[in-house]
């Protein structure tokens, strides 16, 4: 008799966890649109606008290792709700400063860096909390549900952000993000289920911070598929950093939109539609195709669409292309995350996943800075094409002989052809 597929229906703890993340994400997505608009509106500089993406990514590179090790040792629930409250204070300072007439570009950068730093700690705890809240046998379906709802929010929230930026102004719109952090903190506090798997203690009791960090690094490095998927993520994020860093600038200079046009939010939202498509379509694809196949096709598709996106001057064509580009990229990212979480022990979840994300996201600031420099000296089109070098590097790693051997031999996981167990 076949074993029934795991389900999350009626799971109140997961529903609260899901809602907390969704509320917080909605506010953050509004800010992800209005903050670049705010910078570009006040400076008119492609370099300073793309620098924002780099600033928001650097904290992960700087403290990711420490945050991952600490999050595996402390109360994850307490760490997460406290992070949300600190973020609310930081983000809330922008509309307050704007109302007082003292808002500066320096403060915007400080808030961006501060919230990104807090997010590293929150994310480290969140990685370990999800398997405990949902259950290891339901990780894939939990990720599919979280990703699908996130994608829906990523369609609506950026469009809302564009409307708010053009009506009440980008600074005032950030008050929504501040409120969302507070709501998220209250929901996390109301969850009674443990945020750690019972009995899953540290591998080395009493180990020092350095030892705990190295334990996570060793696990990642000795899992061939996890290691390779993480490294190719660096190139993928380099390209995404270039695109995200220049989204507002491209909309203004190449697509001909006003700096506060509501269609800028719609452009961001089109990418979210692509992410939703990937989230919905990925589970059945994972059951049929290997990790290597999904990654290779996703990266190749992303490169083709990026080149076409860089060449177009029509806003609605750009939306369609960005939709497809984001779908391909999201498929690659989600495949790697789900695979990694399924093979990582609970007591290493924070360390391994933070290190993996730290490396994978490491390409984003480089992509943003590269795109900003090229856009300022040559053109936005040239900058986007230059950003495509990241995906080219990832493709090269994807077809490299060691990775193909690892996939063929089933190294790093139980399934021989590296398919992922998705219900």
Domain spans of the chain, in order of start: 12-196+209-409
Q: What is the pLDDT of residue 401?
A: 54
Q: Which superfamily, per CATH, for 12-196+209-409?
A: MFS general substrate transporter like domains (1.20.1250.20)
| Span 229-241, average pLDDT | 87
Residue that the structure tokens 């809330």 belong to: 92
Instruction: Specify the pLDDT at position 423.
Output: 38
Question: So what's the pLDDT on residue 418?
Answer: 43
**Phi and psi, residue 310, nearest 5°:** -65, -25
* 257 dihedral zone (left: phi>0; alpha: psi -120 to 50; beta): beta
Q: Residue 342: its pLDDT value, please?
A: 73
CA–CA distance, 177 with 184 (Å, rounded to integer) = 11
How many Cα atoms within 13 Å fall on the side-chain side of residue 272?
23
Span 40-83, pLDDT tens digits? 888 888 888 888 878 887 887 778 777 777 877 788 888 989 99
Q: Counting Cβ atoms within 10 Å, is residue 411 exposed (0-12), middle (13-18) or buried (19+)?
A: middle
State the average pLDDT over residues 188-192.
88
Look up residue 242 and give its two tokens.
């270039």
Check: CB of residue 361 under 8 Å from CB of residue 60.
Answer: yes
Cα(341)–Cα(130) distance, integer angstroms = 10
Range with the largest mean pLDDT of 14-28, 74-88, 275-289: 74-88
Mean of pLDDT values over 226-252: 87
Mean pLDDT to the nearest integer, 6-32: 79
**pLDDT tens across 390-419, in order?**
999 888 887 775 555 455 445 444 433 444
Q: Mean pLDDT highest for which of 47-61, 127-141, 300-314, 359-373?
A: 300-314
Which residues are CB-neighbours of 167 under 8 A, at least 6 positions away? none
């Amino acid at each position: 008799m076949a074993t029934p597929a795991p389900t999350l229906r009626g799971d109140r703890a997961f529903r609260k966890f899901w809602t907390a993340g969704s509320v917080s994400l909605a506010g953050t997505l509004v800010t992800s649109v209005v903050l670049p608009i705010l910078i570009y509106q006040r400076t008119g500089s492609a370099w300073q606008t793309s620098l924002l993406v780099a600033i928001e990514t650097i904290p992960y590179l700087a403290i990711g290792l420490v945050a991952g090790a600490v999050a595996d040792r402390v109360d994850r629930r307490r760490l997460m709700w406290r992070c949300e409250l600190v973020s609310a204070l930081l983000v809330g300072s922008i509309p307050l400063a704007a109302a007082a007439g003292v808002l500066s570009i320096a403060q915007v950068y400080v808030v961006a860096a501060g919230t990104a730093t807090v997010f590293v700690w929150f994310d480290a705890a969140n990685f370990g909390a999800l398997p405990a809240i949902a259950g290891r046998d339901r990780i894939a379906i939990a990720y599919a549900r979280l990703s699908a709802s996130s994608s829906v929010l990523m369609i609506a929230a950026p469009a809302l952000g564009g409307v708010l930026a053009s009506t009440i102004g980008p600074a005032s719109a950030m008050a929504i993000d501040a409120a969302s952090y507070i709501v998220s903190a209250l929901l996390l506090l109301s969850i009674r289920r443990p945020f750690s798997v019972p009995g899953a203690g540290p591998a080395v009791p009493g180990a020092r911070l350095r030892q705990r960090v190295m334990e996570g690094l060793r696990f990642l490095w000795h899992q061939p598929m996890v290691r390779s998927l993480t490294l190719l993520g660096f190139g993928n994020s380099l390209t995404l950093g270039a695109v995200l860093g220049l989204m507002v600038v491209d909309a203004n200079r190449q697509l001909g939109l006003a700096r506060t046009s509501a269609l800028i939010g719609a452009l961001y939202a089109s990418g979210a539609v692509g992410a939703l498509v990937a989230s919905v379509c990925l589970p059945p694809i994972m059951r049929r195709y290997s990790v290597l196949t999904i990654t290779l096709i996703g990266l190749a598709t992303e490169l083709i669409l990026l080149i076409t996106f860089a060449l177009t001057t029509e806003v609605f064509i750009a939306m369609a292309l960005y939709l497809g580009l984001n779908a391909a990229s999201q498929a690659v990212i989600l495949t790697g995350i789900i695979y990694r979480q399924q093979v990582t022990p609970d007591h290493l979840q924070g360390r391994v996943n933070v290190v993996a994300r730290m490396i994978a996201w490491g390409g984003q600031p480089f992509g943003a800075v590269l795109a900003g420099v090229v856009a300022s000296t040559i053109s936005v089109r040239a900058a986007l094409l230059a950003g495509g070098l990241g995906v080219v590097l990832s493709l090269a790693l994807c077809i490299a002989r060691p990775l193909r051997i690892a996939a063929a031999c089933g190294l790093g996981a139980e399934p021989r052809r590296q398919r992922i167990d998705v219900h």
